[in-house]
Amino acid sequence: MMKPRQSAEVAMRVYVDESLCQGHTLCAMTAPDVFHLREDDGHSYVAVTEFTPEVMQAARRAASTCPEQAIVIEES
Amino acid sequence: MTDIVDRHFEDGRIVVDFDQHSLEYQARSAELSHELRGKCPVTWSNNYGGFWVVTALDEVAEMYKHPELFSAVKDPDPTSNFRGIQIPDANPQVSSGFLEMDPPEQLDFRRVLNPFLSPAAITKWEPLVHDFTHACLDEVIEAGRFDFIDDLVNIVPAVLTMAMLGVPLSEWDMYCEPMHAMVYTPPDSPDLPRVQQMGMEMVGGLIQNVAAARANPRPGIIKALVEAEVNGQPLDDFGILGTVFLVVGGGLDTTTAFTSSVWQWLFQNPTEKARLLADHSLLDLATEEFLRFFTPAQGDARTVTQDCEVAGYKFSEGDRVLLSFAMPNRDPKHFPDPDSVVLDRFPNRHAAFGLGNHRCIGSNIARMQFKTIMWETLQRIPEYTIDDDGVDRYETIGVINGYKHMPTSFAPGVRQGPGFAETIATWQSRLDDEAAAER
């Protein structure tokens, strides 16, 4: 599905664990360009496909305020 | 964590004399949360037949992730340990709808309501909240005094709830008083039978509205419930009523309680009020901080379904557990300086809307209402005085941390628009036109 962008050092991506997200919406408040809310239930999904350093920084910020800790940051 | 378990739980439990309905909890719940958490994140109270009380955020969050171990179910058989989400279970005959169910059944009900309560869906109601806020203010603005609760925040959420249910807006006051009384009346109050009677009368009104919705469906939540299928079966009246009751309860009391708490705090902290008024962009973060600090719904109970160990703590089948929202919101591990309101606090992963599969389904509408009512009211009445002698807090805040009355005075202003009755008529006519267009 999402294709991680390769940087010189590490591949990074972010996704929302749907089994944990309960629709608190704080991620979309914090990083509205990265996280969008589904029309039907307001649960979050990652709306970008390019995981630039700016996106990752915004995603980390959102992850820190997620009540369910449902945002997964992968750096490999 | 393992150390705490070994020290305290294998050969006993830390017993505390904790009662969330007590005057002590009403007066100093934050200090109590620190005392309890300091002893252990999971302690045992012998009150109300005995229950665990969980006060730290990590532990509460972990437990709410396991509905298969911590059940919300209320068993209609009053001798069963499965007594639902309140300790004690003051109304064994009345279930709080899908709040007292577990997945997957609970999620089926949420799927019916979600389309009405998602962030996308609620934007259409913001003008209604705006208009009724100003209508209420126009009724009092020339007098220079009002009761913030009776004249404003009891009314606007109630009218909005009627609109969303699809019942006549004028019925808002049928539900207001019984709903508030049911949450602030302590379980041992001599007034309880009267309050239960009022509750039954309100249910009678709801039954009529469900029947009306079957005969002549109007757009809204009741119509959606009447037409819904859960497990391939239409809902019976009991299932519909339980859900409507929950929408009314969630819609009418929590937002009222929360907004009142903030109104009082802003009066007591004029510098912070001025800071907020000068910077609308602060409102989002400030709202989350107010939610953390003034957590309206104090927490829910669960029943342990089997012997288990969760977050390092051992529980036995049938144990009752109070998983607090308010006390973990003061957990210094996650909230530095937890007993101060920091308007721009971040991160702020508070538990005010609950955690896990029962996250407050109305959280989006609650935020929208709070922000709209508070902001619009502060524009009209930026300076005010609350008469402390007239402030009447809920006798128990064990369910909802709220107030009954909050008399407020201010420099008289001028009316800006139509009053309340005319606004009801205007909006009713608009909603009727929408309903006709949908047929």
Torsion (CA) B336, B342, B345, B348 in degrees, nearest 10 = 70
Mean pLDDT for the stretch of residues B328-333:
98
Question: What is A5-75's CATH topology?
Answer: Alpha-Beta Plaits (3.30.70)
Specify the pLDDT at position B325.
Answer: 98
For B33-45, the pLDDT digits (tens) are: 999 999 999 999 9
Q: Go through B355-391 and write b for each residue having 16 or more CB atoms within 10 A of its CB, e for each that does not.
A: bbbbbbbbbbbbbbbbbbbbebbbebbeebebeeeeb
The answer to whether B129 and B372 have CB atoms below 8 angstroms apart is: yes
- How far off is chain A from B146, nearest CA to CA, in Å? 34
The answer to whether B165 and B244 have CB atoms below 8 angstroms apart is: yes
Do A42 and B364 count as a contact with CB atoms less than 8 A apart? yes
Tokens of B252: 């009418």
- B119 near A CB under 8 A: yes
* Distance from the Cα of residue B328 to its chain's centroid: 17
- How far off is chain B from A8, nearest CA to CA, in Å? 30
The answer to whether B244 and B113 have CB atoms below 8 angstroms apart is: no
Give the sign of the dihedral formed by CA B406, CA B412, CA B413, CA B419.
Answer: positive
Do A68 and B114 count as a contact with CB atoms less than 8 A apart? no
The single residue listed with the structure tokens 């009741």 is B222
* Omega of the bond leading into A67 within 30 degrees of 0 (cis): no
Mean pLDDT for the stretch of residues B280-291:
98
Mean pLDDT for the stretch of residues B313-320:
96
d(CA A61, CA B391): 40
Whether residue B254 is predicted with pLDDT greater than 70 in this model: the reply is: yes
Residue of A nearest to B115 (CA): A40
> Which residue from A25, A64, A66 is facing B364, i.e. has the nearest CB?
A25
Residues of B whose CB is below 8 A from A60? none
Q: Which regions in chain A score pLDDT beneath 70?
A: 1-10
Residues of A whose CB is below 8 A from B115? 40
- A29 near B CB under 8 A: yes
Specify the pLDDT at position B326.
Answer: 97
- How far off is chain B from A52, nearest CA to CA, in Å? 22
For B152-166, the pLDDT digits (tens) are: 999 999 999 999 999
Specify the pLDDT at position B352.
Answer: 98
**Test mutation, A18, A19, A22, A57, chain B, max B CBs within 10 A:** A22
The answer to whether B73 and B99 have CB atoms below 8 angstroms apart is: no
- A60 near B CB under 8 A: no
Specify the pLDDT at position B428.
Answer: 97
**Other residues' Cβ atoms within 10 Å of the Cβ of residue A10:** 11
Specify the pLDDT at position B298.
Answer: 95
Triad B398, B408, B294: Cα angle to 5°: 30
The overall pTM is greater than 0.90: yes
Triad B241, B48, B44: Cα angle to 5°: 115
The answer to whether B139 and B420 have CB atoms below 8 angstroms apart is: yes
> Which residue from B65, B349, B357 is facing A65, i.e. has the nearest CB?
B349
Mean pLDDT for the stretch of residues B4-21:
69
Do A67 and B356 count as a contact with CB atoms less than 8 A apart? no
- How far off is chain A from B197, nearest CA to CA, in Å? 36
> Which residue from A24, A26, A41 is facing B118, i.e. has the nearest CB?
A41
Q: HSE, CB side, 13 Å, CA atoms: give it for residue B259.
A: 31
β-bridge pairing A35-37 and B313-315: unpaired
Specify the pLDDT at position B157.
Answer: 95
Residue of A nearest to B63 (CA): A68
Rama region for B422: left / alpha / beta (φ>0; ψ in -120 to 50; rest):
alpha
Do A40 and B118 count as a contact with CB atoms less than 8 A apart? yes
> Which residue from B347, B351, B359 is facing A23, i.e. has the nearest CB?
B359
Residues of B whose CB is below 8 A from A64? 347, 349
* Omega of the bond leading into B67 within 30 degrees of 0 (cis): no
Whether residue B7 is predicted with pLDDT greater than 70 in this model: the reply is: no
Triad B148, B159, A40: Cα angle to 5°: 120
For B352-394, the pLDDT digits (tens) are: 999 999 999 999 999 999 999 999 999 999 999 999 999 999 8
Q: Coil, helix or strand for B268?
A: helix
Residues of B whose CB is below 8 A from A58? none
Q: What is the mean pLDDT of chain B?
A: 92
For chain A, what are the domain ranges? 5-75
* Omega of the bond leading into A32 within 30 degrees of 0 (cis): no
> Which residue from B115, B346, B349 is facing A67, i.e. has the nearest CB?
B349
Whether residue B119 is predicted with pLDDT greater than 60 in this model: the reply is: yes
Specify the pLDDT at position B439.
Answer: 74
**Phi, psi dihedrals of residue B315, rounded to the nearest 5°:** -130, 155
Specify the pLDDT at position B1.
Answer: 37
Whether residue B102 is predicted with pLDDT greater than 90 in this model: the reply is: yes
Cβ-based neighbours of B108, under 8 Å, separated by 6 or more = B230, B231
For B76-96, the pLDDT digits (tens) are: 898 899 999 999 997 787 778
- B61 near A CB under 8 A: yes
- Band (B124; pLDDT cuts 50, 70, 90): very high
**Test mutation, A17, A24, A64, chain B, max B CBs within 10 A:** A24
CATH code matching the domain that covers B2-438, chosen among 3.40.50.720, 3.10.450.50, 2.40.170.20, 1.10.630.10 = 1.10.630.10
Mean pLDDT for the stretch of residues B325-347:
98
What is the full DSSP assignment across B295-307?
-SB-EEEEEE-SS
Share of chain B above pLDDT 70, in %: 97
- B114 near A CB under 8 A: yes
Cβ-based neighbours of A65, under 8 Å, separated by 6 or more = A26, A27, A30, B346, B347, B348, B349
Helices B237-252 and B172-184 cross at an angle (nearest 10°) of 80
> Which residue from B114, B348, B349 is facing A40, i.e. has the nearest CB?
B114
Whether residue B8 is predicted with pLDDT greater than 50 in this model: the reply is: no
Would you tell me which residues 345-364 of chain B have a C-beta closer than 8 angstroms to some C-beta of chain A? Answer: 346-351, 353, 355-357, 359, 363-364
> Which residue from A37, A41, A65 is facing B347, i.e. has the nearest CB?
A65
Specify the pLDDT at position B368.
Answer: 98
- Band (B237; pLDDT cuts 50, 70, 90): confident
Residues of B whose CB is below 8 A from A25? 119, 363-364
Mean pLDDT for the stretch of residues B305-329:
97
**Test mutation, B359, B360, B364, B368, chain A, max A CBs within 10 A:** B359
- How far off is chain B from A32, nearest CA to CA, in Å? 13
d(CA B270, CA B436): 48
β-bridge pairing B15-16 and B42-45: parallel
* First-last CA distance in chain B: 60
Specify the pLDDT at position B4.
Answer: 40
Size of interface A-B (CB pairs under 8 A): 58
Give the sign of the dihedral formed by CA B375, CA B380, CA B385, CA B389.
Answer: negative
